[in-house]
């Protein structure tokens, strides 16, 4: 009997510590189970979604005109054509600056010297008959009242190729913001109407993305040939109208619903 009493006392001594440990283990397991269940529920609920897309637009007026023009000089003597080319180009640049175009808006876009080849039928071989030197300048014009005058005067200063005229928006971010805000607002209204029609409720945004379309560019190509195409007199320039440009942003949004 004495032995049995001792065993009972020993069991009582360790019963409560063991029970406490078991309770702690159960609590920990319960916490992990709840966390796992919550993640599962979140995953399951996030599968209940609707996706919508919308487009936002804004119309802006370009504020920068971009022009590329070149002086093309041909000849057999590279030193001579280089001196002639540089003289004409410097004269053109000085004129552009006199029209209020700052140095930050004038950039050398290209400078190339290339040989001209001809074929000798008697000798059956090619030979260099001369050289072509092309120097190209890129300018930006912010005062549109200057465009026509500059285009008309350049040929008389030795510029014999005006390759392009285009218009752009300097601060594109502001125009994009307006279009993007409009697109997101339209997308939300669309999603809310779809949810209402189907008896569900929008909870939160799951994913979203946007895409901007390229800006339409107005461009005009003008060419005055080489050599004889340019005269000492100003060429009558066309009337330039920059018009307007449409900035478009498309958005796609996925909403969680319940």
| Structure confidence at residue 8 as a pLDDT band (50, 70, 90) | low
Residue 12 main-chain phi, psi, to 5 deg: -60, -35
Host domain of residue 110: 62-169+216-243
Claim to verify: residue 196 and residue 235 sit in the same structural domain: no
DSSP code for 154:
G
pTM attached to this predicted model: 0.62
What is the average pLDDT across 175-196?
A: 93
Asked if 164 and 177 sit in the same domain, the reply is no
Kindly state whether residues 139 and 82 are assigned to the same domain. yes
Tell me what pLDDT residue 214 has. 57
- Close Cβ partners of 147 (under 8 Å, ≥ 6 residues apart): 65, 67, 141, 165, 237, 240
Rounded mean pLDDT, 2-30: 65
Q: pLDDT digit string (tens) for 200-257?
A: 999 999 999 998 875 545 555 455 444 444 444 555 666 777 777 788 999 999 999 8
My answer on whether 231 and 137 are in the same domain is yes
Residues 69 and 100 in one domain: yes
Task: Tell whether 232 and 163 lie within a shared domain.
Answer: yes
Report the domain count for the chain. Answer: 3
Same domain? 225 vs 132: yes
Q: Do 6 and 116 have their domain in common?
A: no
Same domain, 141 and 229: yes
Domain co-membership, 110 together with 86: yes
Condensed to tens digits (0 to 9), the pLDDT of residues 87-140 reads: 999 999 999 999 999 999 999 999 999 999 988 888 888 988 999 999 999 999
The mean per-residue pLDDT over the stretch 145-160 comes to 93
Question: Helix, strand, coil: what percent of the chain each, to 5?
Answer: 40, 35, 20
Confidence at residue 84, expressed as pLDDT on a 0 to 100 scale: 96
CATH number, residue 158: 3.30.70.2970
**Which residues are CB-neighbours of 43 under 8 A, at least 6 positions away?**
none
Cβ atoms of 193 and 246 within 8 Å: the answer is no
Residue with tokens 């026509």: 148
My answer on whether 115 and 231 are in the same domain is yes
pLDDT tens-digit profile of 34-89? Answer: 566 566 555 555 578 999 999 999 988 888 999 999 999 999 999 999 999 999 99
- Verify that 128 and 233 share a domain, yes or no: yes
């Amino acid at each position: 009997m004495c032995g049995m009493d001792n065993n009972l006392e020993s069991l009582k001594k360790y019963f409560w510590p063991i029970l406490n440990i078991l309770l702690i283990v159960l609590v920990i397991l319960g916490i992990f189970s709840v966390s796992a269940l919550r993640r599962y529920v979140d995953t399951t609920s996030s599968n209940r979604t609707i996706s919508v897309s919308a487009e936002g637009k804004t119309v802006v007026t370009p504020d920068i005109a971009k022009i590329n023009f070149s002086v093309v000089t041909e000849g057999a003597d590279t030193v001579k054509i280089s001196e002639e080319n540089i003289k004409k180009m410097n004269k053109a640049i000085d004129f552009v600056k006199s029209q209020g175009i700052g140095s930050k808006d004038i950039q050398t876009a290209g400078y190339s010297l290339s040989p001209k080849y001809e074929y000798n039928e008697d000798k059956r071989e090619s030979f260099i008959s001369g050289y072509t030197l092309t120097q190209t300048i890129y300018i930006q014009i912010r005062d549109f009242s200057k465009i026509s005058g500059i285009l008309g005067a350049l040929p008389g200063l030795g510029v014999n190729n005006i390759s392009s005229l285009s218009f752009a928006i300097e601060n594109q971010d502001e125009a994009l913001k307006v279009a993007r805000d409009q697109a997101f607002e339209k997308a939300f209204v669309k999603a809310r109407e779809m949810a209402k029609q189907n008896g569900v409720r929008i909870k939160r945004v799951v994913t979203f993305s946007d895409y901007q379309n390229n800006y339409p560019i107005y461009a005009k190509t003008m060419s005055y040939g080489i050599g004889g195409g340019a005269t000492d007199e100003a060429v009558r320039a066309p009337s330039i109208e920059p018009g307007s440009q449409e900035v478009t942003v498309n958005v796609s949004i996925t909403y969680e619903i319940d």
